[in-house]
Amino acid sequence: MAEGLSRRSFIKLAATASVAALPGCEPAARKLIPYVVPDDNVIPGVPAFYATVCAECSAGCGVVARVREGRVVKLEGNPVDPISQGALCARGQAALQGLYNPDRLGAPMLRRKDGTLEAVSWDKALGLLDERLQAAAKKGANRVAYFGSRQGPTLDKLARLWLSAWGSNRLIAYEALNDEAERAAAKACFGRTDLPVYRIDQAEALVSFGADFLETWGSPVEYARQYAAFRAPRPLHGGTVVGRSAYVGPRLSMTAAKCDQWVAARPGTEGLVALGVLNVLVNQGWLPHDSGVDLEALRGLVGMYTPAAIAGRCGVEAKAIVRLGELFGQAHSAVALAGTDDPTAHIGALILNTVTGNLGRTVVFTDAGPPPPPTTGRAEVEAQVAAMKAAEVDVVVVAGANPIYAMPASAGVAEALARVPLVVWMGQVPDETAAYAGLLLPIDHPLESWHDVMPRAGNYGLGQPVMQRVFPTMALGDLLIRSARAGGLGPKELPWQDASQAVAASWQELRARYQPSQSADDFWTSVRRHGGLFLQPGTAGVKLDPAVLKTAPNLPEPAELVLAAFAHPFFFDGRGADKPWLQEIPEPVTQVVWNSWAEIHPETARQLGLTGRASQLWLSAEVDVLEIASSQGRVELPVYIAQTVRPGVIAAPLGQGHSAYGRYARGRGANLFQLLPAGALSVAVKARPTGKKQRLVSPLGKSEMMGRALVEAISVEELARGVAPRPEAPEAPEPHEFYAPFKYPVHQWGMTIDVNACTGCSACVAACYAENNVPVVGEEGVERGRIMSWIRIERFFPAQEKAGHAPLLYLMPMLCQQCDHAPCEPVCPVFAAVHTEEGLNGQIYNRCVGTRYCENNCPYKVRRFNWFAPQWPAPLDLQLNPDVTVRGAGVMEKCTFCFQRIRHAEITAKLENRPVRDGEIVPACAQSCPSKAISFGDMNEPQSAMMRRRADHRLRNYAALAELNTRPAITYLRAVYHGKGKA
C-alpha cells in the first residue's frame, strides 16, 4: 500500500459502507461523510487490490487483498507468487477473522495486584516497559528474553537488535509444530541447512510417510496444486498414466484419503516402514547404479528390515510393504515425503529419494542463497525456560508464541513465567499465555503492518498493510524499535524510525544482492506490486553423506495404546481456533465441527469397553467420553468410532481446548498438547471410558451414498479402455418435458468440477463464507441442521462391497447445481426462486417469505434458511462484502455462482463494448481452489475453458443425481482410482 493511503485522512464514506452491514429491512444510514482530501487510490464502491503475504502459517503464500472503502473484505491468492499461484487455503482466507476478531485486545492492559486487568495508555505502558527493561539491563547481561515464533527476516532482525539494546541474546523462535526433525534429516543426509523443494507433479509415484501434505504439512496450497497434476490422467509411456500414491500413517487423514493406498502403520513406525521399503528395493535390485550411493552400505543399513521382520512391529502386512517397494521402485519417477516428528522417517524418505535417482528431479535442493532461519530447537527452548525458572530473567516478551497452550505442563513454562517479574504479552486475541502476563500490549495484525516472510530460499514475500488499524494497536516492529531506542541504540545501530523503514531497508539489501541494476524506487514499487521477490533458483548438486548409511536408526518401541495427535487442517497448532469460519467448516474426514474428538477403531472401542459400532453423527450424536492419560497429563475427549484409524491408536486433532483465546475458541474440546511430551506428536497412553456422554456435532448425516450416485468414480483401467463405469444410480426415466425449455440467448453459466482434483481442503467453503456474507450459526445451530454454508464438501465412504473398487473416500464440493429443471423454482409461492436469463436459479431475498418449500424440494440440500437474523459481533461486520445483500431472518439463501462477480464483469464488458471474456468471471470458490478443481464459464460457448474441460474428459463427465432429470449446470468429472488387482 502506498504510504499515501495509509497516512492520509482515512476514508470517510463509512456511512455509505455501513449500509451494507445492516439487515435488509432496517433503515439505512442517513449520513454521507465525504473525504476532506480524497485519496487518489480510493474510489468509493470500487475495490482496490494490494499484494501482501499470508502470515497464518510458514508456507508464506502470496495474497492479494481486496479492499473496499478502506477495509479489507476478501483475501485471495497472489497469482504472481510461485507458491500460492492465485489460490489460498481456508486458514489463509480466515485471516480476515483474525483481523476483525471481536476479542482482540483493544488497549494496553496492566495487571493489578488482585489479578484483574486495567486499561492503560500506550505512553504509560511503554514507559513501564522501558523502566523495567532498564532495571533488568542494569542487573547484568541476559536478563531479558524474547519468546517469539517464526516471524520473518526483518522482525527477526528487529527482535535481535531490541534484545541487544537490553544486553541480552535470549531469542526464542518457538513453533509447536516445527520442521526440526526434517531439518535434522536434511543436515544428516546432505549437510544442508535448508529443506528440499518437492515437485510432486514431476513424479509418477508418491509415498507419504505421515506427511499430510494436502492439509498442514509444508506448503499445502502448493502441494495440492502439484498433487492434482500428479493425479490427473496424462498420456505418458504410450498409455494413460495416473500417479499412484500411498500414505503410511495411523489415520486416514484427508491426505491419506486422496491416496490409492493407506498403509495403517503404528504411529512412530513410519520410519521403519521407509527402511522396509528400502530393503525391498535393495533386495529386488530396483535401484539404479548411477545414483552415487554405496548400495552395499545401504544393504548394510536396511538388510535386517525385511518386510517380514518388521511387519509385526509396524502393525501392517508384509505384503503391504512389498507393494510400497514395488510402487516406488517401478515408477519412472517417484517422491517420498515424511511428516512425522521422527527423524528416522525423514532420513528414510530422503535416502529413498536419493537411491532411486529422484534427487534433483522430484526432490530438489536449490542454490538460492541463505535458507530461512530455523526455529529454536527443543533443547534450546528448554534451556531458556530453565533459565526463567532459575530467576535469571527479569523481563520476558512473548510475541506470537503461545507456550502455555502448546507446551506440556512438564515443560514447566507456567512455573517459569511465574518466576519472571514482568511478562509482557504482545498479540491480538489474548491467549493462555496472556493470562500469565503482567502487561498486555495489543499488536497490529499482519494485515495492518509491514512485515516480510521467507518461506524458502529465493522466495521473499513482502507483507504490506492493506488497511488502517481496526483497534488502537501498535506494530510489533515499531514497538521494538521505540523500545530499543530507549535502551540506548543510536541511529548507527538502528537507522530506522519505524518498522516500515526497517522492512524497506531489508528489501533494498535484497535489491543490491539480486537486482542491482534496478533503481531503488523501481524495485520498491515492483515488489510492492508483485507482493515480493521470487527468484528462480537453480538446482544445487548434493550428495548423500555416506555416514548416514552407517548410522543405525533410532527406532521407538511401539506401545499398546498410542495417542496420535495430528494438526487440525484448520486450527493447525491452535492458532486458527479463534476464527468462527474455521470452527464451523467441518473437518473433511470426520465432518465434526466446533469440537475435538478421539478417533478410535471399532475394535479398540470394544477393548475399551465401548460399543464397537461406528459413530453415525446425524447432525449430532451422544457419544461416550474417554479419559486419556499419558505421562504428561490427562484429558477427556468425546469418542468418534470409525475405521479411519488403525486399531490400538487414538487419533485426535490438535488446536482445540483453549481456556482463553476469545469467545470462539474458549472451552471447546481438549488440548492434546497437554498429553504430548515436548516435540512429539504421539505418546503411549491409557484410556478409560468415563461413563459421561457428550455431543459431537456434524452437518452431514449418512456416511454412505445409499445407492445414489452423488460422487462417482472411474478406474484407470476403465479410463484406458475408454468405457464409462456402469452407473450406480437408478436408470433415469425418459424425460417428459412439460414446460417449454428455457432459452439462453446470451450466456448460460455453468461449472465443471473435477472430483479427482478436489482434495476436500475446504478452501472454497471459506472463500464462499467471505465473499457472500454467509453467517456462522455455532455448534447448536449446526446441530439443528441450520448450517449456512452455500458450498460444502460432501464426504462418503465407499460401500463395503465396493471396497477396493473405489477411492478410499469420496470427497466432492456440493453447491447449488443451478438446475435447468430446478425443483425449487415451481414450488415458490411468491416467485422468490426465479430462473434468470442466464440459467441461474436466482433467489430474490426481499421477495422471500420463508415458506422453505424450495429447500424441501431441493434434492441437493444446498438452500439455506435464516432461522434468526445473523450476527456479526463488531468489528467482524466490517468484513462483510458490500456487493452482496446481508440476508435477514426468515429468508432463504443460496449460491448463485457469485452473481455479483458475474454482474460486475458483464457491466465492464458492456461498457467496453465487447463480449464477456472467457475466464473473466471467477466465482470465489473456483478462485480459491488450490488444485483448480473448479472451472466456471459459459455453456453456450463450446470453446470456453470450462466446456473444453468437459470435452477433454468426456468419459469422466457425470451429473449429480442425474436420474432426477434436474439437468444441472454443473458437470462433475469422476474421481479416478487405481482398481485393485494391479497395485
Partner 1 sequence: MNRFFLGLAAVLLVSGLGVVAFSQRPWLPLENVEQPVPFSHRVHAGVNKIPCQYCHEYARRSRTSGVPPVQRCVGCHGSAVSGGLLPITRPWADHGHPSFEIRWNRVYTLPDFVKFTHRPHINAGLACQTCHGPVETMDRLVPVYEINMGFCLDCHNKRGATQDCEVCHH
Instruction: Count the residues in the chain.
Output: 983
Region of 254-262, 577-585, 865-873, 877-885 interacting with partner 1 (CB under 8 A): 877-885
Residue closer to partner 1, measured from CB, 196 or 882 = 882
Asked if residue 35 binds partner 1 (CB under 8 A), the reply is yes
Asked if residue 29 binds partner 1 (CB under 8 A), the reply is yes
Region of 39-47, 78-86, 438-446, 751-759 interacting with partner 1 (CB under 8 A): 39-47
Asked if residue 31 binds partner 1 (CB under 8 A), the reply is yes
Q: Which of 7, 9, 547, 667 binds partner 1 (CB under 8 A)?
A: 9
Residue closer to partner 1, measured from CB, 754 or 938 = 938
Asked if residue 34 binds partner 1 (CB under 8 A), the reply is yes
Residues 6+ apart with CB under 8 A from 941: 918, 947
Say if CB 692 and CB 676 are below 8 A apart: no
Region of 8-16, 239-247, 408-416, 866-874 interacting with partner 1 (CB under 8 A): 8-16
The neighbour count for residue 600, using CB atoms within 10 Å, is: 30
CA 328 – CA 278 distance, rounded (Å): 9
Asked if residue 13 binds partner 1 (CB under 8 A), the reply is yes
Q: Which of 884, 933, 970, 975 binds partner 1 (CB under 8 A)?
A: 884
In 298-311, which positions are buried (b, 16+ CB within 10 angstroms) versus exposed (e)? beebbeebbbeebb
Secondary structure (H, E, C), 278-312: HHHHHHHCCCCHHHCCCHHHHHHHHCCCCHHHHHH
Distances (CA, A) of 236 to 123, 233, 619, 628, 973: 67, 9, 45, 50, 21
- Residue 859 CB, nearest distance to partner 1 (Å)? 22
Asked if residue 742 binds partner 1 (CB under 8 A), the reply is no
Asked if residue 844 binds partner 1 (CB under 8 A), the reply is yes
- Residue 923 CB, nearest distance to partner 1 (Å)? 13
- Residue 832 CB, nearest distance to partner 1 (Å)? 9
Asked if residue 748 binds partner 1 (CB under 8 A), the reply is no
Residue closer to partner 1, measured from CB, 12 or 606 = 12
Asked if residue 26 binds partner 1 (CB under 8 A), the reply is yes
Distances (CA, A) of 10 to 71, 73, 422, 467, 882: 10, 17, 37, 10, 18
- Residue 915 CB, nearest distance to partner 1 (Å)? 16
Distances (CA, A) of 295 to 355, 357, 546, 903: 8, 13, 10, 63
CA 532 – CA 81 distance, rounded (Å): 8
Say if CB 575 and CB 568 are below 8 A apart: no
- Residue 44 CB, nearest distance to partner 1 (Å)? 5
Region of 15-23, 334-342, 701-709, 747-755 interacting with partner 1 (CB under 8 A): 15-23
CA 959 – CA 686 distance, rounded (Å): 48
Q: Which of 842, 870, 930, 937 binds partner 1 (CB under 8 A)?
A: 842
Supply φ then ψ for residue 602, to 5 degrees: -55, -35
- Residue 871 CB, nearest distance to partner 1 (Å)? 16
- Residue 835 CB, nearest distance to partner 1 (Å)? 9
Asked if residue 849 binds partner 1 (CB under 8 A), the reply is no
Give the DSSP per-residue string, 332-349: SSEEEEE-SS-HHHHHHH
Residues 6+ apart with CB under 8 A from 63: 51, 52, 53, 54, 75, 76, 77, 78, 84, 88, 92, 95, 531
Radius of gyration in angstroms for the set of CA atoms belonging to the chain, rounded to a whole number: 28
Asked if residue 847 binds partner 1 (CB under 8 A), the reply is yes
- Residue 853 CB, nearest distance to partner 1 (Å)? 18
Residue closer to partner 1, measured from CB, 41 or 518 = 41
- Residue 23 CB, nearest distance to partner 1 (Å)? 7
Residue closer to partner 1, measured from CB, 193 or 468 = 468
- Residue 886 CB, nearest distance to partner 1 (Å)? 6
- Residue 654 CB, nearest distance to partner 1 (Å)? 39
CA 341 – CA 327 distance, rounded (Å): 25
CA dihedral (523, 524, 526, 531) positive or negative: positive
Say if CB 563 and CB 685 are below 8 A apart: yes
Residue closer to partner 1, measured from CB, 37 or 552 = 37
Distances (CA, A) of 714 to 301, 403, 806: 41, 47, 8
Site size for partner 1, by CB under 8 A? 50
Asked if residue 838 binds partner 1 (CB under 8 A), the reply is yes
Residue closer to partner 1, measured from CB, 619 or 834 = 834
Residue closer to partner 1, measured from CB, 772 or 971 = 772
Asked if residue 845 binds partner 1 (CB under 8 A), the reply is yes
Asked if residue 869 binds partner 1 (CB under 8 A), the reply is no
> Strands (DSSP E) along 838-947, which ranges?
841-843, 864-865, 892-893, 934-938
Asked if residue 840 binds partner 1 (CB under 8 A), the reply is yes
Site residues for partner 1, 592-651, by CB under 8 A, read none
- Residue 472 CB, nearest distance to partner 1 (Å)? 16
Residues 6+ apart with CB under 8 A from 505: 495, 496
Give the DSSP per-residue string, 163-177: HHHTT--EEEE--SS
CA 519 – CA 742 distance, rounded (Å): 59
Residue closer to partner 1, measured from CB, 613 or 847 = 847
Q: Which of 883, 930, 964, 970 binds partner 1 (CB under 8 A)?
A: 883
Asked if residue 12 binds partner 1 (CB under 8 A), the reply is yes
Residue closer to partner 1, measured from CB, 680 or 895 = 895
Distances (CA, A) of 601 to 208, 414, 558, 595, 641: 22, 35, 17, 19, 6
x/- contact string, 46-65, with partner 1 (CB under 8 A)? x-------------------
CA 953 – CA 951 distance, rounded (Å): 5
Residue closer to partner 1, measured from CB, 700 or 902 = 902
Residue closer to partner 1, measured from CB, 425 or 749 = 749
Asked if residue 16 binds partner 1 (CB under 8 A), the reply is yes
Asked if residue 638 has a cis previous peptide bond (ω within 30° of 0), the answer is: no
Region of 78-86, 139-147, 501-509, 836-844 interacting with partner 1 (CB under 8 A): 836-844
Asked if residue 552 binds partner 1 (CB under 8 A), the reply is no
Q: Which of 3, 4, 7, 32 binds partner 1 (CB under 8 A)?
A: 32
Say if CB 152 and CB 454 are below 8 A apart: yes
The neighbour count for residue 746, using CB atoms within 10 Å, is: 12
Residue reference for cell 548409511: 549
CA 742 – CA 839 distance, rounded (Å): 8
Asked if residue 472 binds partner 1 (CB under 8 A), the reply is no
Residue closer to partner 1, measured from CB, 42 or 641 = 42
Asked if residue 296 binds partner 1 (CB under 8 A), the reply is no
Q: Which of 24, 633, 859, 979 binds partner 1 (CB under 8 A)?
A: 24
Q: SS3 for 581? A: helix
Residue closer to partner 1, measured from CB, 771 or 783 = 771
**769: amino acid identity, one letter:** Y
Residue closer to partner 1, measured from CB, 16 or 630 = 16
Q: Which of 283, 643, 900, 940 binds partner 1 (CB under 8 A)?
A: 900
Residues 6+ apart with CB under 8 A from 932: 87, 225, 228, 757, 926
Q: Residue numbers of the site for partner 1 (CB under 8 A)?
A: 9, 12-13, 15-16, 19-20, 22-38, 43-46, 834, 836-838, 840, 842-847, 883-886, 896, 899-900, 903, 907, 910-911
